[in-house]
Amino acid sequence: MKDLRRYLALKYIQYLVLSSSNAVSTFLGLLGSAYTMLLLQSAKVSSKSTAVLISSLAQADILVFLSLVLGSFGVSSLAGLLLMANAHLSCVLLSCVALEAYLITFLPSESRPHRTVSTARLLCRGVWVLVAAECALFLLDEHLRGSAASAPLCSALGLLLQLCSTATALLQSLCYILGILLRILNVYIYYKIFFSMSPR
Q: Which amino acid belongs to residue 164?
A: C
For a pLDDT cut of 70, what percent of the chain falls above it? 90
Mean local confidence (pLDDT), 180-194? 91
Rg (CA), the chain: 19
Longest dimension (CA), the chain: 70
Distance (Å, whole) CA 29 – CA 11: 7
DSSP notation for 7-49: HHHHHHIIIIISSS--HHHHHHHHHHHHHHHHHHTSTTS---H
Q: What is the pLDDT of residue 60?
A: 96
Distance (Å, whole) CA 100 – CA 61: 21
CB count in 10 Å sphere of residue 14: 21
Please write the tens of the pLDDT for every residue from 74-117: 888 899 999 999 999 999 999 999 999 999 999 999 999 999 99
Please choose, from the candidates 102, 129, 84, 111, the residue with its C-alpha nearest in 3D space to the C-alpha of residue 194.
Answer: 102
Please choose, from the candidates 5, 8, 129, 100, the residue with its C-alpha nearest in 3D space to the C-alpha of residue 57.
Answer: 8
CA contacts within 13 A on the Cβ side of 126:
9
Residue 199 confidence (pLDDT) above 60 = no
Please choose, from the candidates 139, 133, 124, 140, the residue with its C-alpha nearest in 3D space to the C-alpha of residue 60.
Answer: 124
Distance (Å, whole) CA 78 – CA 136: 11
Lowest mean pLDDT across 122-126, 142-146, 155-159, 172-176: 155-159
CA 172 to mean position of chain CA atoms? 15
Confidence of residue 61 (pLDDT cuts 50, 70, 90): very high
Residue 134 confidence (pLDDT) above 90 = yes
- Residue 66 buriedness (CB in 10 A; 0-12 / 13-18 / 19+): middle
Please write the tens of the pLDDT for every residue from 142-154: 888 877 666 565 6
Q: Are the CB atoms for 177 and 90 separated by under 8 Å?
A: no
Task: Provide the 8-state DSSP code for 73.
Answer: T
**What pTM did the predictor assign?**
0.90
Number of H helices, E strands in the chain: 8, 0
